[in-house]
Chains A and B, each alone.
Chain A
């Protein structure tokens, strides 16, 4: 029987949404698998999350140690190597912690590694079939994973349907004593909070959001004119901030702002999952992109295949004429 362990990330005593998504992923890996939640941390927050997990998972392992108070991936990895059986399947979210911790864990456990899984299609013997995306979400690919000596996998948050918690009636097992030596060569110092910008994009009901398709810093003006006409503000995807054309506070995405507008105008944005991860509240999404294969058309409500540099000024003019 496949043994699956799922790492529960949490903040301020509340588990991340992915905690409800692992059970679906586990069933898709192997219907008959056992599933155990693993929670690491320190003190009251940890206990609160571990208790909460007993409503979703029949077994919950907690590891309590002062060095785990902040989830430093180097420390967590050392603890997990001593707790997780080497032939088990270990799941963690494909977030900034999972990306930091998991590849090295697969080396230390001498098991297979698969990153950013978006679906599983069952197991045949010891060969697991699953789905990933490549090239920024432009293509999907089937992969096979030999789990005969275990596997470490990251799963994409939001890709597996959340289960209803409440009825698992699980219990917490304290394995803090098994964590072993947790000394590491990387010391967590502090979290520097993001700076507030001149415009708060999270407050706007309509966002005119621009991506790579804007091509040049000088062209941002046309997006600003459309935003003005629509009584909204300009937000953007990561490449615009990397190029220093707009402030970080204007960036929508998992590594930027989470926004909940009513209408999201995705202009020249390809629609990577990191970007769409910042668009919440099920807004009406309009996508304009000259590439008909852009992944954004899979998630948008309305799609238009046009070059935004031609389309935006015409739309602005039409809106202003209303």
Chain B
């Protein structure tokens, strides 16, 4: 089975305290720690496990800049066989549809049975997988937390409300977005990354993909991100301050009043 996994380099929510820049319209990006989108690691792990069972190859792909190559290498160190970087100045400022359109152009150059992505990334939209499927006329299932492969079709479980699981039979080729918790992504050490440091990663731009640059990037985006801002905190929490002993004393009084103790 030929599997393509779409990944993204994102600011790491576990490693950063996000603050706005001095102009107050964007993140202060000077010291941000970036890593591969958490959901994508589960997608790559799942792809590797499927190929271990039924044979085939895992290709990881991203739309990004030069620095995005590091996340492709990280996923190749996990066990993906090859990587593709889609990079062009014209791609900058793309909305979800722009990104899906760029990926579609590369997908049509290959022959993939299964395309996966993380269920969502830093922007929290969870949109690219579903758009890519619709553009390719492939069936789609989102928030997948179980995959069983049979001949020419697969059974997938989707995580739905209340911890329930919706089971579906889906025909190949298809696109799936993967939810965290579907597996336990393997650890990648520095040695693993060194092993793939020299592997050639092809870089394709708009010309290589036959993409009309007016349809992507900021020019083609119907949904545009304007500025970050600090939400109105509203009432917010009453912050307890002082020494830990003082805080605990205040907290215990409140817990007693509210029925917590």
| Cβ-defined contact, A143 with B244, below 8 A | no
Bound-complex Cα distance A139 to B126 (A): 17
Interface of B is mostly: mixed
| Cβ-defined contact, A286 with B124, below 8 A | no
| Cβ-defined contact, B227 with A192, below 8 A | no
Contact with B222, one of A146, A191, A292 (Cβ below 8 angstroms): A146
Q: Is A10 an interface residue (CB 8 A)?
A: no
| Cβ-defined contact, A192 with B134, below 8 A | no
**Taking A144-B224, A145-B223 as contacts, is the C-beta distance between A305 and B252 under 8 angstroms?**
no
Q: Is A92 an interface residue (CB 8 A)?
A: no
CB distance from B170 to the nearest CB of A (A): 4
Q: Is A315 an interface residue (CB 8 A)?
A: yes
Q: Is B169 an interface residue (CB 8 A)?
A: yes
**Chain B contacts for A133, CB-based, 8 A:** 124
Q: How many A-B residue pairs have CB under 8 A?
A: 260
| Cβ-defined contact, A113 with B97, below 8 A | yes
- Stretch of B74-82, B136-144, B186-194, B202-210 lying at the A interface: B136-144
Q: Is A203 an interface residue (CB 8 A)?
A: no
Within 8 A of B (CB), among A83-120: 95-97, 99-108, 111-116
CB distance from A235 to the nearest CB of B (A): 13
| Cβ-defined contact, B260 with A135, below 8 A | no
Within 8 A of B (CB), among A174-204: 184-194
Contact with A242, one of B140, B158, B180, B223 (Cβ below 8 angstroms): B180
Q: Is B131 an interface residue (CB 8 A)?
A: yes
| Cβ-defined contact, B163 with A249, below 8 A | yes
| Cβ-defined contact, B17 with A302, below 8 A | no
Contact with A262, one of B11, B13, B125, B258 (Cβ below 8 angstroms): B258
- Stretch of A21-29, A30-38, A41-49, A250-258 lying at the B interface: A250-258
**Taking A96-B158, A145-B223 as contacts, is the C-beta distance between A116 and B124 under 8 angstroms?**
yes
| Cβ-defined contact, A96 with B130, below 8 A | no
| Cβ-defined contact, A186 with B142, below 8 A | no
CB distance from A307 to the nearest CB of B (A): 10
**Which has the most chain A C-beta neighbours within 10 Å: B18, B157, B249?**
B18
Within 8 A of A (CB), among B1-45: 11, 13-14, 17-20, 27
Q: Is B247 an interface residue (CB 8 A)?
A: yes
Contact with B along A2-13 (1 / 0, CB 8 A): 000000000000
Bound-complex Cα distance A72 to B166 (A): 10
Chain A to chain B contacts (Cβ below 8 Å), 13 pairs: A99-B130, A103-B96, A103-B134, A115-B125, A144-B223, A145-B224, A186-B170, A241-B181, A242-B180, A265-B260, A270-B13, A284-B259, A304-B239
